[in-house]
Structure 1
Amino acid sequence: ANTMITQVVEMVTDYEKYPRLQHHLRSIERNDKAIVFVETKKGCDQLTRSLRGEGFPCRCIHGDKSQQERDETLAEFKANKIPILIATDVAARGLDVKDIAVVVNFDMPNNIEDYIHRIGRTGRAGATGTAVSFFTDKSSKMAKELAHILREAKQE
């Protein structure tokens, strides 16, 4: 595990996830980028709508978006016109964006490999990064593996 990444795991209920996400997004530095991972396309759309309604500059990518929409969204994200990207795992595969400061697991992934893959989007090329994960009762099957990863990265 990458020690350049600060991993933060918050034990939350489903109701607490959204206010916690807002808190983390508000504390991001002005020119920093963030990716927020969600489990479903519907969740991706809903979260994006809610955040935009509260003034957060964000867009989403998922499998139902056309290639053109995805390309436009990624170009805006890379150029920092839109600093917050809401994404599903599938849509984020092969995403090559260097300077991502924060990764948020709004929904925990289903396995530890996807967790490592997601948080590896930050802390690249010698830069530091932060990964915030919202851990709910549904995520408990991953607890042991997650604890192991955090220990490996020296983050109890």
Structure 2
Amino acid sequence: MATTYEVRIYGRVKCAEFIDKVESLGRLLNVDGVIYIYKDSVRILANFPNEKKRQLFKEIIKDLEDDDGLIKVEKIEERELNVYIEFPKGLNKISTNELEEINKKLDKTINYLDKISDALENQIKVSKEIRDILKDTFEV
């Protein structure tokens, strides 16, 4: 089974054009994973089809700065994770906006679930009161 790698790219790389180029490169090399901007770097979690493509991926990333003066790759760190993560086909970017939107939706969902839970608790309380009243009424 393949191993998942984390690749961190440091430098002047946190721009949409760089992310798009790396995403395209990953798809070209049949790399499955996700790419996203993190605080101080661009991070990639990926499964590579073989060792040769993993090395080629890093070499081409380093060469991207030769094609674009706005990109400066200072350092690439890589570590093998002790786990295999199954990703959708291709290298897919995750934007901060998407993550924030997902978190907002989760917060709203939790809020609605809390309201539903409170309403159900009130309904149960009312039902018990009605049951007790009916029980007292019909006990003669």
TM-score category (smaller protein)? under 0.3
Which of these two proteins has the greater Rg computed from alpha carbons? 2
More strand by share: 2
More helix by share: 2
What TM-score results when the alignment is normalised by the length of structure 1? 0.25
